[in-house]
Structure 1
Amino acid sequence: MEMDGVNENAWWTLPENFDAPLVTFIDEAQEKHIFGHEDLHLRSIELHSHTLIQLERWFTASGQTRVTVVGPLRAKQWLMDMIWSVGSQQAYHQARGQAMLYHVWNQPLTNADLDASFSILAYICGLILDIIFGF
Structure 2
Amino acid sequence: MSTLGQKAWWTLPENFQSPLVFYMEEDLEKHVFGQGDKYLRSIELHSHTLIQLEPWFTATGQTRVIVVGPPRARKWLLSMIRSLGSRDWCYQNQGLEMLWRVRSQPLTSQELIATTIVESDTLGLSLAVRMSGGISGFPSPIAWLF
Deviation at 1:23, TM superposition (A): 1.0
Structure 2 letter corresponding to 1:27: E
TM superposition shift of 1:2: 2.9
Q: Which residue pairs with 2:64 in the alignment?
A: 66
The correspondence of residues 92-111 of structure 1 with structure 2, limited to 5 A, is: 92-111=90-109
Equivalent pairs, count: 119
Q: Choose 1 or 2 for highest CA Rg.
A: 1
- Structure 2 unaligned blocks of 5 or more: 120-146
- What are the within-5 Å matches in structure 2 for residues 1-135 of structure 1? 1-2=1-2, 9-58=7-56, 60=58, 62-117=60-115, 120-121=116-117
Q: Which deviates more from structure 2 when the two are superposed, residues 63-72 or residues 52-61?
A: 52-61
The alignment yields a C-alpha RMSD, in angstroms, of 1.9
Cα contact 2:53–2:64 (8 A) shared by 1: yes
Aligned equivalents of 1:59, 1:111: Cα separation in 2: 37
Cα offset, 1:82, TM superposition:
0.4
- Is the 1:24–1:66 contact (alpha carbons within 8 Å) kept by the matching residues of 2? yes
Does the 8 A contact of 1:3 with 1:11 survive in 2? no
TM-score, normalised relative to structure 2:
0.75
Tell me the amino acid that sits aligned with residue 89 of structure 1: R
Q: TM-score, normalised by structure 1?
A: 0.81
Identity of aligned residues (%): 57
Structure 1 runs of 4+ with >3 Å offset: 59-62
Q: Which has the higher contact order (CA 8 A, sep 6+)?
A: 2
Q: For structure 1, which runs of at least 5 residues remain unmatched after alignment?
A: 126-135
- The 1:87/1:3 distance shift into structure 2, 3 A limit, reads farther
Q: Deviations over 1:64-109 (max 9, x none)?
A: 0001100000000000000110111110110000000000000001
Q: Are the counterparts in 1 of residues 2 and 8 from structure 2 also a CA contact under 8 Å?
A: no
**1:70–1:82: structure 2 CA closer, same or farther, 3 Å change rule?**
same
Kindly indicate which of the two structures has a greater share of residues assigned to helix: 1
Q: Aligned partners of 2:18, 2:57: CA distance in 1, in Å?
A: 20
